[in-house]
Amino acid sequence: MNDIANKITRAAQLLRAGELVAFPTETVYGLGADARNPIALAKIFAAKDRPADHPLIVHLPDATHLGTWAIDIPAAARMLAAACWPGPLTLILQRHPAVPDLVTGGQNTIGVRMPNHPVALALLHEFGSGIAAPSANKFGRISPTTAAHVQQELGESGEKNVAMILDGGACAVGIESTIVDMTSATPRILRPGAISADTLRRLLHAPVHDSHATQPTEREKNTPRVSGSLAAHYAPRTPLQMCAVESLPAAIAAALQEGQRVAVLAPEPVPPLPAHPRIIRRIASADFSQFAHDLYAALRELDAANCDLILVATPPDNEAWRAVNDRLRRAAAGSGTDSGNR
Ligand code: TXA
Ligand code: MG
């Protein structure tokens, strides 16, 4: 057996023993626990400092497991699972009565997905059941897209509670899965991701509500069912501002004038920026998939650069860029504090 196969066997044993295992998916790294074991689930909330009413996504080895986690599964949900799994799509369904409350945050629904990463799939097959896994970061902080990020966020073993971190390289997608609520007549996107509303409409030949295209209702604002729906999330500690590309030179000049160190994430070729010891520059891709792939690593790197301000060139405002713009807005809203949004 090679090294990674050994590690996966060990990781499955640890999960069975009620321990936490961080593992790669195609979106971001997850912090996994046996989704049937309330004691193991409680460790996730402790490790992340996550409020207990935030439900967890259950990762499945394949769609044949759906019936042990959800009931009244609509045909449209099965169709999406068949078309998109393994892949970055989470389905919200009616929960099965046997699912622990900690998974669902006490709600009568459950989020499930089958991730598209060979290490995650091997672990799920070895474990043979659902693995509950939020992103492996402190609550409100930037999601990890490498094993090193997980190590920085949560550490391995001991007091920090994470028994093992499986390394599967950098995540291909780089931002969290699309979440679609399948429990009402018209499916509704709760969190935009790599699989767009248009793709879902095409697959279903039916309407799909894109809640991010409309204002949230008062009730939605007050019940944070999706932690990504809190205004502040995915946040660096350094204040982050969005800035139109053409206004960047003026914004940078103003920051320098005030003696600030400024980090800039902008595509090439923007108006040429002066070489200055207090400007740190990272090139952003003009392609949205590549931008998403790089985004969290870039934010981590710029956040670690000890600047007073991170300026991000605002990407195009269209459907393709929706998920990226959503994460950037939230990063800006939550930036500049030590605690993020609790
Ligand atoms: O790509 C992903 O989805 C990653 C990887 C690890 O799979 N996971 C992830 O988990 O992003 P987390 O916990 O960071 O975000 C999951 C979101 C949370 O905002 C949670 O509130 C929402 O899914 N969620 C889970 N179950 C739900 C439910 N029954 N109803 C509504 N939202 C739910
Ligand atoms: Mg998360």
pLDDT-derived band of residue 268, with 50, 70 and 90 as boundaries? confident
Please give the mean pLDDT across all residues of the chain: 91
| Helical (H) or strand (E) element with 302 | helix 288-303
**Smallest-distance ligand from the CA of 153:** 2
CA dist 140 and 135 (Å) reads: 10
**3-state class (DSSP) for residue 156:** coil
pLDDT at 340 over 60: no
Cα(256) to centroid(ligand 1), Å: 39
* Structure confidence at residue 22 as a pLDDT band (50, 70, 90): very high
Q: Which of 219-228, 293-302, 325-334 bottoms out in mean pLDDT, i.e. has the lowest? A: 219-228
The residue to which tokens 């999601």 are assigned: 143
Which residue type sits at 81?
Answer: A
Residue type, 191: R
Q: Which ligand neighbours the alpha carbon of 27 most closely?
A: 1
Residue 103 Cα to ligand 2 middle (Å): 14
Rounded to the nearest angstrom, the distance between the alpha carbon of 309 and the centre of ligand 1 is 29
Ligand 1 site residues, Cβ closer than 6 angstroms: 25, 27-28, 30, 54-57, 88, 90, 92, 104, 107, 109-111, 115, 133-135, 176-177, 179, 190, 225-228
Asked whether the predicted pLDDT for residue 186 surpasses 70, the reply is yes
* Closest atom, ligand 1, to C-alpha of 30: 6
Q: If you search the block for the tokens 């790669």, which residue do you land on?
A: 24
The yes-or-no verdict on residue 48 having pLDDT over 80 is: yes
- pTM for this structure? 0.93
Centroid of ligand 1 to alpha carbon of 94 (angstroms): 15
Among 50, 124, 226, name the best residue to mutate to test ligand 1's pocket (greatest count of ligand atoms within 8 A of Cβ): 226
DSSP string, 108-155: SEEEEE----HHHHHHHHHH-S-EE--BSS-TTBPPP-SHHHHHHHH-
Distance between CA atoms of residues 124 and 115, nearest Å: 9
CA distance 282 to 166: 28
Q: Which residues pair with 59 in a beta bridge?
A: 113, 131
Q: Provide the CB-side half-sphere exposure for 318 (13 A, CA).
A: 4
Q: How far, in Å, from the CA of 149 to the mean position of ligand 2?
A: 14
279: how many CB neighbours lie within 10 A of its CB? 18
Query: In whole angstroms, how large is the CA radius of gyration of the chain?
Result: 20
| pLDDT of 222 strictly over 60 | no
- Of ligand 1's listed atoms, the one at least distance from the Cα of 90 is 3
- Report the pLDDT averaged over residues 227-250: 82
Q: What percent of the chain has pLDDT over 70?
A: 89
If you measure from the C-alpha of residue 134 to the centroid of ligand 1, how many angstroms do you get, rounded to a whole number? 6
For 157-176, the pLDDT digits (tens) are 445 589 999 999 999 999 99
